[in-house]
A and B are shown apart, each in its own frame.
Chain A
């Protein structure tokens, strides 16, 4: 990611009021994670799998603070169980920011499953999402996701792809 895209993500998170970020690092967002760690206004929590991160974000919601789950899109598959339970069972929302691995242009065979499964899994869970491939749309996409999740009390997602991450 370019520094300007990293800055746009952090601006969007701050404008949305996020103060806690749970993440499991990946390669497409590799410049984002240290920037989040270094930001004095954001507490980062590193997790062992993205499902754990989703549940921690749910707990942060219950405290009145705003959290984000940042991950590769493969983490969505690891998060399905807690997302379904919290979102559909209790109305506890999680906002996710994920890198779009496996979209057209992907040149790693192991990432192809992530591209094939991401949107169908989001649709199966009825999670609205936006795919952002232009840097100037990042900030608005993030704040829109929070606005929607705090009106619906359900999950939403922003996937960053294309030139934003490659």
Chain B
């Protein structure tokens, strides 16, 4: 199963949602797989922060569906967030873990999931996220997207994807700071709120 194909399937289901996503090649893949979601997606470059940030966003905007596009390396970096989700039970958070069993962006050395013994979905269930599943085919993944985007409990799908990257895709040129402004302005416009307002005159 290719991550890019999964992204296109998920992208086709999205309209008003907000997305926070992880680092490496998945950033450029999502940029290309979901062009209509570019302003609605916060492209981050960090391990262990993506799902916690998505949960914080979900807590702040409880009426809005939030999607975390995390990775096996990123989730293993901070497994504690699964226990926090298990206790907090956010009604509007759908977590996808792209599990390619490797640290792809640095050339592909294996993550802990490559051993076949470490099961992130089982860890999530043990942490109190009852709806946590592993998808191995595009059809399974798409069905979990449908369920996860409609769920009123936290929903985790671990997508077992190949360690390859979609060839010949357009690279995103913006950095984390520009990405934040684009995302914040999108949230402001769609929510009718001010997050980063004008300076005081004093």
**Interface residues, chain A, CB within 8 Å of chain B?**
20, 22, 43, 45-49, 51-53, 55-65, 67, 81-82, 85-86, 89-92, 151, 153
State whether A90 touches B55 (Cβ < 8 A): no
Give A43 to B57 CA distance when docked, in angstroms.
13
State whether B80 touches A59 (Cβ < 8 A): no
Given contacts A62-B183, A63-B187, A64-B194, contact A56 B55 (CB under 8 A): yes
State whether A64 touches B60 (Cβ < 8 A): yes
State whether B194 touches A85 (Cβ < 8 A): no
Tell me the residues in window 165-198 of chain B with beta carbons closer than 8 Å to chain A beta carbons.
175-177, 179-180, 183-184, 187-188, 191, 193-196
State whether B176 touches A89 (Cβ < 8 A): yes
Report chain B residues within 8 Å CB of A81.
Answer: 46-48
Given contacts A48-B81, A62-B184, A85-B46, contact A20 B59 (CB under 8 A): yes
Tell me the residues in window 30-71 of chain B with beta carbons closer than 8 Å to chain A beta carbons.
42, 44-49, 52-61
State whether B195 touches A62 (Cβ < 8 A): yes
State whether B87 touches A85 (Cβ < 8 A): no
Q: Residues 77-91 of chain B: 1 if any A CB is under 8 Å from the residue's CB, otherwise 0?
A: 010110110011000
State whether B46 touches A62 (Cβ < 8 A): no
Chain A residue at minimum C-beta to C-beta distance from B53: A59
State whether B44 touches A90 (Cβ < 8 A): yes
Give A64 to B63 CA distance when docked, in angstroms.
13
State whether B60 touches A60 (Cβ < 8 A): yes
State whether B88 touches A62 (Cβ < 8 A): no
What's the minimum C-beta distance from A116 to chain B, rounded to whole angstroms? 26
State whether B49 touches A82 (Cβ < 8 A): yes
Given contacts A46-B84, A90-B44, A151-B199, contact A59 B56 (CB under 8 A): yes
Among B49, B81, B177, B184, max chain A CB count under 10 A is at B49
Give A61 to B180 CA distance when docked, in angstroms.
11
A49, A55, A85, A90: the one contacting B56 at CB < 8 Å is: A55
The main secondary structure of chain A at its interface with chain B is helix
State whether B84 touches A58 (Cβ < 8 A): no
Q: Does B20 contact A (CB under 8 A)?
A: yes
Give A64 to B176 CA distance when docked, in angstroms.
18
State whether B80 touches A60 (Cβ < 8 A): no
State whether A86 touches B49 (Cβ < 8 A): yes
State whether B57 touches A90 (Cβ < 8 A): no
Give A82 to B80 CA distance when docked, in angstroms.
14
Chain A residue at minimum C-beta to C-beta distance from B20: A59
What's the minimum C-beta distance from A93 to chain B, rounded to whole angstroms? 10
A52, A62, A64, A85: the one contacting B78 at CB < 8 Å is: A52
State whether A64 touches B195 (Cβ < 8 A): yes
Among B56, B179, B196, max chain A CB count under 10 A is at B56
Given contacts A45-B88, A64-B187, contact A56 B56 (CB under 8 A): yes
A20, A48, A53, A82: the one contacting B83 at CB < 8 Å is: A48
State whether A86 touches B46 (Cβ < 8 A): yes
Give A67 to B88 CA distance when docked, in angstroms.
16
Give A85 to B88 CA distance when docked, in angstroms.
25
Give A22 to B88 CA distance when docked, in angstroms.
12
Q: Give me 20 other A-B pairs in contact (C-beta within 8 A), A55-B52, A56-B59 excluded.
A: A47-B84, A49-B78, A52-B48, A55-B48, A56-B56, A58-B49, A58-B52, A59-B57, A59-B59, A61-B56, A61-B195, A62-B42, A62-B184, A63-B56, A63-B59, A63-B60, A64-B60, A65-B60, A90-B44, A90-B179
Report chain B residues within 8 Å CB of A62.
Answer: 42, 53, 56-57, 60, 180, 183-184, 187, 195
